[in-house]
Chains A and B, each alone.
Chain A
Amino acid sequence: MTAVTAAKAPPGMPAGAPARGPRARWAGWAFVGPFMAVFALVFLAPIAYSLYLSLFRTQLVGGTQFVGLDNYARAMSDPLFWQGFTRVLLFLLVQVPIMLGIALLVALAIDSGRLYGRDFFRISIFMPYAVPGVVAALMWGFMYGTRFGLWGNLETALGVDLPDPLASSWILAAIGNIVTWEFVGYNMLIFYSALRVVPTSLYEAAEIDGAGQWRVISAIKIPAIRGALVIATIFSIIGSFQLFNEPSILQSLAPNYISTSFTPNLYAYSLSFSGQQHNYSATVAIIMGLLTMLVAYVVQLRGMRKEDGR
């Protein structure tokens, strides 16, 4: 959604209506003010507060003390944190390309006008987006069951032993499948909306020059929606780094394989709510936030540079 708009050139600073006198100069604030007030309460204040928290440590003996950057040093050498981080990194390196690849192929197929029942495809593939992550995880959790789920049915039907999706070596793939299922349609719609606004005159010109379907896709369509691709990639990266709902729900089905530090987000959550280590939890969350912003920034730079380079 957002990506669609963000994919276009940013609006920059529209000139706006000419100001009329000192009262009109502040008229904009009357509209922006309410948003900014709530924004300060639920965005800026928590960020400031967690930065503050991360500099202290509370102990049973001695109470709360200022410890400088000790919490950060601890996180840097915390194997549990880095294991979780490596796991989500692996997750995003595999899951994000698969999901966005499928989404792009479907968007191109729908946009090509060569499908029977195009609108049905578009709305149906988008539908899982309306399913809450919790319900998706519960549902797939049931289906993954080897004894009574769809997976077990499949085993019986084929007469073979399939790997248990909820076993340790497959659990990440099982989660990746749930996330892919939820968001393929959403990303497809973003790409599709971006494809719709490519002027058809370009296709006509290419056609007159003898360009085929694939040539049009690689030379016109993909470059034209590069912005949408970059934005969708960034959002998917942020989503992967924040992975929480799906592993948290599947935890009850595979408690031995999904630890409380399975992802950094789960780790921060359990530190804070089971361990009462609020200060360290805030530190983990800040480091994760910084890493996310860093990766998102690098992807954006790369995406944009390629655009310039062409």
Chain B
Amino acid sequence: MTTTTATVHRDRAARGPVTIRRPKPGSVTRPRKNLTLTVLTGVVLLYSLVPLVWLLINATKTQADLFGSFGLWFGDEFALWNNVVATLTYGDGVFLRWFGNTLLYVVLGAGGATLLALLGGYGLAKFRFPGKRAVFAIVIGAVAVPGTALAVPTFLMFSQMGLTNTPWSVIIPSLISPFGLYLMWTFAAEAIPDELMEAARIDGAGELRTFWQVCLPLLAPGLVTVLLFTVVATWNNYFLPLIMLRDPDWYPLTLGLNAWNSQAATAGGEAIFHLVITGSLLTILPLVAGFLLLQRYWQSGLSAGSVKG
């Protein structure tokens, strides 16, 4: 910020004596609403929302209407309900099976990742222990390693351990979120005063109790934020299950939808594009709803994280 002050001072010198003015309406600190800017930003808004609207509208169409009617308006027949039923019952209800798998991976994978990041971040922020610097260096280095470099060897390793084509092959790699650890670490470092922990210890609380009863409540906003982002990462995971899973019974939604989509291209495969579209809608609904409903929590976690980090 030194730069800013320096420039400002130079400007001031150039303009001679300074007159202190009150900010006028429409200035930086007292902004006035601006229609042009709203419209311009509205273009990006449209860009973001039109595909989602497209998805919503086209989930109401029969397969014939899908190809025969204008993309951003409804078709001749309003088939949303039929499509939803067809999506849920197609192939003996395999969509529900995929939905359940996704939930399993999210609960165990994202839940576990958040828990490990919580404990690890707290430990790194609030304790001195031998090897701490090494832990720091290794984890920071690992953040830069692209997932690609890991996927194939992880697969080969897991196949030797007999883990491939089981849920574990998807859940175990999801358990590590270096970014989650980093976030919890910075968050814990600032959110928990050392004095508070000292006071708890003087009162005779053990480490576990100090963590659980004194520190955990303070970590809640950071925890919600990490959880939300690990949930998105696990819910949207495609590459990992694609490599690990062969049996469609263990597919998550992302893999299942892609299988449905490519079905039309296979010999004798039935084209079910309306189910792909309705299935896509059903796949994103829980996350969109989660983000909207939990808006207050994760946005406060975000800003709290940045204020304190």
Mark B29-68 against chain A: 1 for CB-CB distance below 8 A, else 0: 1011111011011001101110110110010000000111
Q: How far is the CB of A154 from chain B (nearest CB, A)?
A: 9
Q: Is the CB of A30 within 8 A of B283?
A: no
| A279 CB → nearest B CB, Å | 10
* B: contact size bracket: 35 or more
Contact A194 B182 (CB under 8 A): no
Name the distance in Å between A236's Cβ and chain B's nearest Cβ.
13
Task: Kindly state whether residue A203 has any CB partner on chain B within 8 Å.
Answer: yes
B132 contacts the other chain (CB 8 A): yes
Q: Does A59 contact B (CB under 8 A)?
A: no
B305: which A residues are within 8 A, CB to CB? 1, 4-5, 193
B229 CB contacts on chain A under 8 angstroms:
1
B254 adjacent to chain A (CB < 8 Å) = yes
Given A130-B284, A282-B152, answer yes or no on A289-B145 (Cβ-Cβ < 8 Å): yes
Q: Contacts A53-B153, A115-B33 given: A288-B303 contact, CB under 8 Å?
A: no
Scan residues 133-167 of chain A and give those whose CB is less than 8 A from a CB of chain B: 133-136, 138-140, 142-143, 147-150, 153
- Asked if A121 contacts B41 (CB within 8 A), the reply is yes
**Inter-chain contact B51/A128, CB cutoff 8 Å:** yes
Q: Say whether A203 contacts B28, CB under 8 Å.
A: yes
Contact (Cβ within 8 A) A242 B147: yes
Specify which of A33, A211, A273 is in contact with B8 (CB 8 Å cutoff).
A211
Chain B 255-293 interface 0/1 with A at a Cβ cutoff of 8 Å (1 = within): 101100110010000000100110010011001101110
User: 10 new A-B pairs (CB below 8 Å) besides A16-B194, A211-B11, A285-B148?
Assistant: A5-B186, A36-B135, A117-B38, A123-B292, A124-B49, A133-B236, A209-B12, A219-B7, A286-B149, A292-B146
Interface residues of B (CB under 8 A from A): 1, 3-5, 7-8, 11-12, 15, 18, 20-21, 23, 27-29, 31-35, 37-38, 40-41, 44-45, 47-49, 51-52, 54-55, 58, 66-68, 70-72, 116-117, 119-120, 122-133, 135-136, 138-139, 142, 144-157, 172-173, 175-176, 178-183, 185-187, 189-190, 194, 197-198, 201, 207, 211, 225, 229, 232, 235-236, 238-239, 242-243, 253-255, 257-258, 261-262, 265, 273, 276-277, 280, 283-284, 287-288, 290-292, 295, 302-303, 305-307, 309
